[in-house]
Amino acid sequence: MSNPMISVIIPVYNVENCLAYCLDSILAQTFGDFEVICINDGSTDNSLNILREYEKKDKRVHVISKENGGMSSARNRGLQAAQGKYISFIDSDDFITPDMFERLYQRAEQAQADITICNLKLYFEDTGKYGYYRDEVLYYHLKNKVFTVEQAPKIVACIAVWDRLYLHSFLRECGVRFIEGKIYEDVPFSVETALKAQRMALVPDHLYYYRKARDQSITGQESRRGVKHRSDFIEIHRYTQQMMRAGDYSDAVWSAHLDHFIGQVMMHNAYCETRKEYKDFFVAARSLFDERMYTLCKQLKDVSKQDYAKRLEAGDPTGARNILRQVFPDSIRH
């Protein structure tokens, strides 16, 4: 039996309420030449039983169980098992349109692309409504082009792995894997692959739906207040920026990265619980910046990002707090 064209890798951990919806959207694809590798990452609810039922019903579904190790270890295990020409990562609480694989596969083959990206929408579980997530103008502008990160710098700030097809041989050549044991594992993987890809292509339509759970806005804010989230954020971005410095990337690429990155720094700093945590994170974030980054921050369009970067450069946490209070008025608790 020949290898499938696409290997779909799905990390699964305690998602019994939405797992079937995710799998149904995948198995209903108009393009059928794929395998679904479900990595049960030590689920304690009914997720594994659901996976086994789907495995019995459809020979394309393969279930691998492992001890809980987090999203990165599950994805890496899926990569070890994958046989397809292309790799797709899908989160187990999300869903896709029936033609996502067909559209991405056709564009990937046409463009001979290392990475082929689609647009996406947010799905708000509590209201059933949808929201836009990405730069619609950017996606429209790139829809018929084959490009590198230097030709489309903003693509480096599209931090995700689940809205795209990766050429499997490209991932092997890069030797890229997800950093295990850390939160924000998507960041170095998506940045490194975007930087190294010689040919990227895009389908501008919304083919992927990212589910926002009804309690996610609350838990998301609380998680940003967590010390581990902040320490992992610093460590992951230190690694990512070291990787970027090792290459000869233009100011345009760095500016696109910074525009996204400094917004994330501001958000994490704003959600610190105590004055000590606030100052500790401020100092840690400051250690990530160099002279070139500060210079480029002065050219950002968002004035609040410019001002926050100035406070970082000056080592002025009090001035930075005043800026954050304006941008995140309900966040600072100290």
Q: Do 107 and 186 contact (CB within 8 A), yes or no? A: no
Smallest CA-to-CA distance from 261 within 184, 333, 175, 148 is with: 184
- CATH homologous superfamily of 6-214 equals Spore Coat Polysaccharide Biosynthesis Protein SpsA; Chain A (3.90.550.10)
Q: Residues 43-96: pLDDT tens digits?
A: 999 999 999 999 999 999 999 999 999 999 999 999 999 999 999 999 999 999
Cα separation, 331 vs 257, in Å, equals: 24
Tell me the domain boundaries of the chain.
Answer: 6-214, 221-327
- pLDDT under 70: residue ranges of the chain: 1, 133-135, 137, 214-225, 332-334
pTM to 2 decimal places: 0.93
Q: Residues 126-138: pLDDT tens digits?
A: 888 888 766 676 7
Cα separation, 220 vs 222, in Å, equals: 5
Q: Residues 189-210: pLDDT tens digits?
A: 999 999 999 999 999 999 999 9
